[in-house]
Amino acid sequence: MLEQDLQFVETAFKKYYFEHFDLLSIPNRASEREFGYQKFNGGMNRHISIKSNEELRLMLITNIPSDVYCSNAYYSFPNLPMSEKDWKGADLIFDIDSKDLNLDCRINHTCIKCFSCGEVSILQSVCPKCKSTKIEKKSLTCKNCIEGAKNEVIKLYTILEEDLDIKKEKIQIYFSGNEGFHIHISNSPYQQLGSRERNELVDYIMFRGAMPETFGMKKSNPLRSSFVDIDTKGWRGRVSKHIYGSKSKRSKAITEIISTGYSVFQQRLDNLKEIIGVKIDPNVTIDIHRIFRLPGSLNSKSGLSKVLCENLEKFNPFQESCFIDDENTNVLANCPTQFTLKNRIFGPYKNEKVTIPKYAAIYLICKGLANTTIQN
């Protein structure tokens, strides 16, 4: 980030933390967690112990971080090196990101920026100006992306409640501040699970490694009576419902499964993973020492806040997580696609000098698609 852009964004972030500190929430058992932060154009600072809102406020105002983090894990000594922290357990956290959903809409709101010459253009495999393949994709998330991510959250929520018996009051859903959602599970029976056990849990949630025998199909001499009913709880019932369609069609579907054989049914289950499995980032849930974006903090990839979703269905991140003010700001914008914030449509811009609200300017600068070379 250029120096003038850095100063502009840091000033906006500092103002946000000064005026909206009440949006940040110190998690429970804060004194047992590791905190961290990253500065613009700087590295990660970890192994920090914070015990109160006052200490958090001081860290934010003093350092003006680009991103603020907190561990899901609990430690006896959170400020010591990892090998000396004494791990005591960790909350379950799931990350659902729209970029992992392979939605058709993404081609319409993703552009590229060339590392070699700085050219910005619509999505393509090489830079149209210098033909370099050293390019970075820049996505400006759309409403359809958010709806797709919401659908995955709903699928996950169902499994957490119905299969894992996690009470709804222990499940918190946050917009990540950029392209998806973080689902936090606290005070659950799963806090003591290590990485290996969490990996097995991820396999279950993503519907990975399903075996035909689980659903009644055997390699030799399969029995019709062994096949699962639609009303069965968990994945067995969900898969059966998806394959049969209805109880009246169950018999005919079983006949077809038996006739086509074991390997065909195995392939069918593998294909189902993409349809009914929850698309979470497995590495996030497995890592028991990871530090996560702190609720209420700003995301340096967008300038939007990580906020709690009280009503997921009605939640609009382009309105409800945008807290930077609307002061008119002059920027040189180079963004070949449209984006929406606070019910306003911006772009596309082609190396244009434009005057836009500060929240839109911050968004573009954070995406690397504008700079503040023009003076107000």
Secondary structure, 3-state, 147-176: HHHHHHHHHHHHHHHHCCCCCHHHEEEEEC
Domain with residue 78: its CATH number is 3.90.920.10
Distances (CA, A) of 195 to 135, 237, 278, 350: 34, 28, 19, 47
Per residue in 232-270, pLDDT tens? 999 999 999 999 988 899 999 999 999 999 999 999 999
- Among 250, 276, 302, give the residue marking a domain's end: 276
pLDDT at 13: 96
Q: Answer yes or no: is 77 within a domain.
A: yes
The per-residue b/e assignment along 180-201, b for 16 or more CB within 10 angstroms, e otherwise, is bbbbbbbebebbebeeeebbeb
Same domain, yes or no: 261 and 324: no
Query: Considering 95, 100, 203, 326, which one is annotated as catalytic?
Result: 95
Give the integer Cα–Cα distance in Å for 25 and 75: 19
161 confidence band (pLDDT: 50, 70, 90): very high
Same domain, yes or no: 315 and 223: no
Same domain, yes or no: 163 and 290: yes
Task: Examine the residue annotation and report whether 67 is marked as an active-site residue of this protein.
Answer: no
Q: Answer yes or no: is 108 within a domain.
A: no
Per residue in 311-357, pLDDT tens? 999 999 999 999 999 999 999 999 999 999 999 999 999 999 999 99
Query: Considering 163, 281, 287, 326, which one is annotated as catalytic?
Result: 281
Give the integer Cα–Cα distance in Å for 258 and 249: 15
Same domain, yes or no: 155 and 47: yes
Contact 312, 173 (CB under 8 A): yes
Give the integer Cα–Cα distance in Å for 126 and 52: 49
Task: Examine the residue annotation and report whether 97 is marked as an active-site residue of this protein.
Answer: yes
Same domain, yes or no: 72 and 179: yes
Task: Examine the residue annotation and report whether 95 is marked as an active-site residue of this protein.
Answer: yes
Same domain, yes or no: 178 and 90: yes
Same domain, yes or no: 193 and 215: no
- Among 245, 276, 307, give the residue marking a domain's end: 276
pLDDT (mean) for 97-105: 94
Same domain, yes or no: 253 and 294: no
Q: What's the mean per-residue pLDDT of the chain?
A: 94
Q: Answer yes or no: is 121 within a domain.
A: no
pLDDT (mean) for 125-134: 93
Q: Answer yes or no: is 109 within a domain.
A: no
Same domain, yes or no: 247 and 285: no
Q: Does residue 374 surpass a pLDDT of 60?
A: no
Beta bridge partners of 349: 335
**CA–CA–CA angle 246, 247, 253 (5° rounding):** 75
The per-residue b/e assignment along 329-364, b for 16 or more CB within 10 angstroms, e otherwise, is bebebbbbbebbbeeeebbebeeeebebbbbbbbbb
Same domain, yes or no: 235 and 291: no
Q: Does residue 26 surpass a pLDDT of 90?
A: no
How crowded is residue 282: how many other Cβ atoms within 10 Å of its Cβ? 18
Alpha carbon 291 to chain centroid, angstroms: 14
User: What's the domain count of the chain?
Assistant: 2
- The domain in which residue 254 lies consists of 208-276
Q: Give the predicted TM-score (pTM) of the model.
A: 0.93
